[in-house]
Amino acid sequence: MKSTNNEYVQLAVAMCRTGILGYGGGPSVIPLIRHDAVTRYGWLTDDEFGETLAIANALPGPIATKMAAYLGYKLKGVRGAILSVLAHILPSCIAMIALLSAVNYLSGSKTVAGMIAAVSPVIAVMLGMMAYEFAQKAFKGLGKWIGTAFLVLALVLLEVLHLHPAIVIVLYLGYGTVHYRILAGKNKKGGTA
């Protein structure tokens, strides 16, 4: 009985650790889960872990949560899966609640409002620089006249016709695909001639 409880504790500690230290999403958590599951506790072999990872990648949803559920289920069945998933997601949930509470509490602060006001121009300049760099690349690839025409067209679609930005992006991606294929066809014909 003591061994069984020890495995529950190990499972909870391992998944809690991956939930806390796995900053950056699922792919950053996978090495942490592998270390605990294969190296530290020996729950899986490297081959089993690789197969589990492949199956988890094929299924919809967050990969780290699926891996936690599988490990818990493999070790302790349904109870293990529930414990493992809760131990993995609870630290993040608690941190989010604490941070949102802090944001809510500090939202009326003049100091925080001043900090946000100080950061806003920096963000605007960064976005402006990014737009300028994209425009330079567009002018280089399409030429100044066509690049300017597409810039004006985007402005009209977004600001005059009020199209959703996602629609404009899809339209431009579609054009880019056609443009790229035409250029690739010309280069292919030019190279073989």
Q: 25-36 burial by CB neighbour count: b if 16+ within 10 A, else e?
A: ebeebbebbbeb
Position 137, amino acid = K
Other CB atoms within a 10 A radius of the CB of residue 40 amount to 12
pLDDT given at position 191: 58
Q: Which pLDDT tens digit goes with each residue over 14-68?
A: 999 888 887 767 777 888 889 889 999 999 998 888 888 888 888 888 888 899 9
CA atoms within 13 A on the CB side of 5: 2
Q: How far apart are CA 147 and CA 157, in angstroms?
A: 15
Across residues 111-138, what is the average pLDDT?
85
| Cα→Cα distances 116→9, 95, 107, 126, 133, Å | 43, 22, 10, 15, 26
The single residue listed with the structure tokens 């567009």 is 138
Q: Is the pLDDT of residue 153 over 90?
A: yes
pLDDT given at position 80: 93
Q: 130-150 burial by CB neighbour count: b if 16+ within 10 A, else e?
A: eeeeeeeebbeebeeeebeeb
pLDDT given at position 188: 74
- Residues 6+ positions from 19 with CB-CB distance below 8 Å: 29, 64, 87, 88, 89, 90, 91, 92
pLDDT given at position 189: 73
Alpha-helical regions (H) of 107-164 = 110-142, 144-155
Q: Which pLDDT tens digit goes with each residue over 169-190?
A: 899 888 888 887 887 777 777 6
| Entry pTM | 0.54
Across residues 86-115, what is the average pLDDT?
87
62 CB-contact burial (10 Å; exposed 0-12 / middle 13-18 / buried 19+): middle
